[in-house]
Structure 1
Amino acid sequence: MIRIFRHYISSAFLWLLVFEAVIFYFAMYLGSQVRFLYQPSWYSEADIVNASLIFAAIFTLCNISLGLYRRNLGIQEYDLLARVSFSFGVGIFVVVSIYYLFPNFLIARSVLGVSIVFAFLGMMLIRYFFYRYSKIDRIKKQVLVVGSGNKAKELVELNAGYLHKSFNIAGFVALPDELCCIDEALLIKQDKSLNEVAQDLNIDEIVLAIDDRRRGMPLTKLLDCKMSGFDVIDLVTFYERERGIVSLTNVYPSWFLFSDGFAVSGLRSIGKRLFDILVSLILLAVAWPIMLMTSIAILIESGIKAPIFYRQVRVGENNRNFEVIKFRSMVVDAEKNGAQFAQEKDNRITKVGAFIRKCRIDELPQIFNVLTGDMSFVGPRPERPEFVEGFVERIDYYAERHRVKPGITGWAQISYQYGASEDDTVRKLEYDLYYVKNYSLFLDISIILHTIEIVVWGKGAR
């Protein structure tokens, strides 16, 4: 994992992106060479280079938007052929549109056809080798865990559902008088120092997973390892890097004081505001026909007198309340019995509402909240005051998510399912705190691109 503008990115998938972008570039370049193998080319070298750059950029962006470089893509979510086919379909449409809208970049259909075949075959070949060799343990980060309790046990399953496992646990070192929850086969049983064990196993990193910090840590042994060149990190940092969360079960108040991040400068706020306005205007220009058709569909289903929009008070930045605007997706009297979470197969949701929720179309009117400054395009999901009051009392650090403006989409929205319980709220708070801590324009752009995957695949909508 590497850190780019404070956000952790899988180095393996970053290299995969680079290799496939190169494949896409040369697919177009070789396509033109094959097409004009026995006759003079119609295009200059500069024409082919420009066309190849456009082809590579568009197809790479489509792959990013379909989650094909997301490390935490689960095995159950993974459908390579479906995702690649959809990505190529969108890519072909965009490339053709650009080539024909801008004649300077026009490429013959025969050249484009051959290039697409080369690109698809090249990508499949790269993916075959990537998924085959990325499973080899010796090329992963080797981790030694100090501790054998419940927190250590949780690390065993951390990588289990991922296609690409970025680290391998070489073993666990039990502490004296600690309740062991680890399989004995995974325990390091040697009469050697921690430093010697780390050297024997070629360890890259030592992770502290101690259930009770009050019992004390083996500071002398850990210092010996640190001074010998081994990285030693705590669970909060480990989860932040590997899962993109601030782990609430492992965090402690002093961590917030001394950790980097959580900085909101004036210049950064201005940059984010300009980015919000630009993205919102672009989305509004593209989405207004969809918004018009949605309005008509709601009126047809519910009647001409039924409201199209739904306004609701939500908590914004610095605990200021505002009215969020959404397309109405439930029956008019949905909350006659008081505020409540939306549930799976909620009978209050209309037929049109079920569709627009699945595609996230119901969120589009929030563009106007962004333009008025109540919301940001990217940020934590805005919650209702009735819920927030209780969450602040019962959930530690919940109020910290209101240090930034709420967003139409966000790190928690694309990383976790729709929250329908207080436990879900805690899990999503961990993602929200990661965003508040590590905000950057790069992270916002990454979230927006991955939101396309959520819309296309319908993940997390309810």
Structure 2
Amino acid sequence: MFRVSYIRIRKHYLHLPYLVLGALEFAVLFSTFYLLGFVLDQLGGSQAGLHADPASALLFAFVMSCGTLAMGVYFAMVREGFASMFFRTLVAFCFVGGIALTILYMVLPTTSPGSDKLFWAVLLAIALVTVVRQLFLRVVDSDQLARRVVIYGGGEFAESLMTDYENNLRASGIRIIGCVPDSANPKVDSRHHLPAPEDFYQFCRQNRISEIVIAQRERRTSQGGRLPVDSFMDCKLRGIDVTDAVAFYERELKKARLELVHPSWILFSDGFKASRSRDFTKRVVDLLISLTLAIVLAPFMVLTALAVVLESGWPIFYSQNRVGVRGKVFRIYKFRSMRQDAEKDGKAQWASENDSRVTRVGAFIRNTRLDETPQLWNVIKGEMSIVGPRPERPEFVDQLKEQVPFYNTRHYVKPGLMGWAQLNYPYGASIEDARGKLEYDLYYSKNHSIVMDLLIMIQTVEVVLLGKGVR
């Protein structure tokens, strides 16, 4: 029985098929650059410009692979279709990768192939990786290679899992073949029902099931009777994975489904651990990145300040109280993107879509995230981190703690300029949005590491370039 599986790197789940695809693409990029250089060397000698140099080929492959990750190409490939994947690939290779390579060639001029030859290398790379991705989709989409899963349960948890499957999991190497209802009145659509098997292990063997996901409100008993513990233990001990629904969500969707989370999940999980060494390393990384960004972005910050003054006058900055680590309140600073009287009654207000309070300059600096750059000062001071849950206003926190379970858990991690929820959830401006974002914040709080922070930093490029999650 073949299983499309996953691995964990520093507690963060990574799907093996995408790692394999990434490795294949890296090999294609390296080979394209190296072999094109070799051919041109044969045709034009040393004057050709693009040399068959392994170091240059490695640099090209690494930068283009980072650009691919930054633009979210792999997720767009399976969720949004060919057109979106191709557009993001063009941006990743021609814009993100092009700018990065230009800067690197200025620092390392001996690795530069020349603009004409780089153009042909990029063009050929785009064509080849597009073919590789299409072949990959055909292989991963194959029922013979997919990880086949059955759900035990028929209530709202199972129904929610089926909905998320239809929206997000179908194209990621997962095949949920159906649900075995655990009650007389299941909520899952009847077309997904499976009859309760007399022998679960034989049922799994006959249907090539790799995993049973238990999606019940109560594990020991249910409205329809007892959980068949002995049958599931038999499956587990004979090689069939048996997984709790919250763990399945965490692994496959990189979030903690709030309705499934319970205190024991926090108490007895292998995450949510404080580490002085990790905190020290994170602090060093924060200082290095924030100081570097402050220097690089200084000209843009000056231009932003001038634009704000010219359009709507003073003040340039807008400050707010936010809730930080362990509930400590601190003050953040932004370039002002709204009118001076945006909150003239003094009451905190959620931002709305196409908010009329936003100025024209404000709309641009919000889309490009330039309005957030003064918060680098908060990072330097140690009140924020580069990566972490976005800090919320005290007025909203008091409200959300009363209405959203486990909301206060996000305050045990230092807030950040960019976060896991910002990558995966649209702009939040309601109680329901706060619940959705918390599911990703809980995953980050449980599993965060330097490796995960670096991945978030790279993927945030997509958020900035495409203006995702802005109001």
Establish whether TM, by shorter chain, passes 0.5. yes
Kindly report which structure 2 residues correspond to 1:123-134, keeping only aligned pairs within 5 A, or say none: 123-134=129-140
Partner SS state of residue 209, structure 2: coil
For 2:280, give the aligned amino acid: I
**Residue number among 36, 55, 64 corresponding to 1:31 in the alignment:** 36
- Note the C-alpha offset of 1:412: 0.7
Kindly report which structure 2 residues correspond to 1:303-452, keeping only aligned pairs within 5 A, or say none: 303=313, 306-337=314-345, 338-452=347-461
- Note the C-alpha offset of 1:149: 2.2
2:3 is matched with none
Change in CA separation of 1:190 and 1:106 when aligned onto 2, cut-off 3 Å: closer
| Matches of 2:232 and 2:242, distance apart in 1 | 7
What stretches of structure 1 of length at least 5 have no aligned partner?
none
1:139 is matched with 145
Structure 2 length as normaliser, TM-score? Answer: 0.92
8 Å contact from structure 1 (residues 315, 382) kept in 2: yes
Partner SS state of residue 223, structure 1: helix
- Note the C-alpha offset of 1:85: 1.3
Percent identical pairs in the alignment equals: 38
**Residue number among 158, 165, 170 corresponding to 1:152 in the alignment:** 158
Post-superposition CA distance 1:390-419 (Å, at most 9, x none): 211222111110001111110111110111
- Note the C-alpha offset of 1:320: 0.6
What stretches of structure 2 of length at least 5 have no aligned partner?
1-5
8 Å contact from structure 1 (residues 206, 233) kept in 2: yes
2:265 is matched with 255
For 2:411, give the aligned amino acid: H
1:19 is matched with 24
Which has the higher mean CA deviation after the structures are superposed, 151-160 or 193-202? 151-160
| Matches of 2:115 and 2:310, distance apart in 1 | 43
8 Å contact from structure 1 (residues 147, 172) kept in 2: yes
Which has the higher mean CA deviation after the structures are superposed, 68-77 or 58-67? 68-77
| Matches of 1:11 and 1:78, distance apart in 2 | 24
Q: Does residue 172 of structure 2 align to residue 165 of structure 1? A: yes
8 Å contact from structure 2 (residues 319, 331) kept in 1: yes
| Matches of 1:24 and 1:76, distance apart in 2 | 22
8 Å contact from structure 1 (residues 31, 118) kept in 2: no
1:63 is matched with 68
**Residue number among 289, 296, 299 corresponding to 1:286 in the alignment:** 296
- Note the C-alpha offset of 1:385: 0.9
Structure 1 length as normaliser, TM-score? Answer: 0.94
| Matches of 1:50 and 1:339, distance apart in 2 | 54
Partner SS state of residue 148, structure 1: coil
1:208 is matched with 214
Partner SS state of residue 176, structure 2: strand
For 1:332, give the aligned amino acid: Q
Post-superposition CA distance 1:170-227 (Å, at most 9, x none): 232222x442233444322365311211111111111001244442422121112112
Q: CA RMSD in A?
A: 2.2
- Note the C-alpha offset of 1:332: 0.9
Partner SS state of residue 179, structure 1: coil
| Matches of 1:78 and 1:219, distance apart in 2 | 47
- Note the C-alpha offset of 1:132: 2.5
Partner SS state of residue 321, structure 2: strand
Aligned residue pairs total: 459
Change in CA separation of 1:30 and 1:11 when aligned onto 2, cut-off 3 Å: same
| Matches of 2:452 and 2:195, distance apart in 1 | 43
**Residue number among 264, 268, 274 corresponding to 2:274 in the alignment:** 264
Kindly report which structure 2 residues correspond to 1:61-100, keeping only aligned pairs within 5 A, or say none: 61-70=66-75, 74-75=79-80, 79-90=84-95, 91-100=97-106
For 2:262, give the aligned amino acid: Y
Kindly report which structure 2 residues correspond to 1:46-61, keeping only aligned pairs within 5 A, or say none: 48-61=53-66
For 1:312, give the aligned amino acid: Q
1:226 is matched with 236
Change in CA separation of 1:192 and 1:344 when aligned onto 2, cut-off 3 Å: same
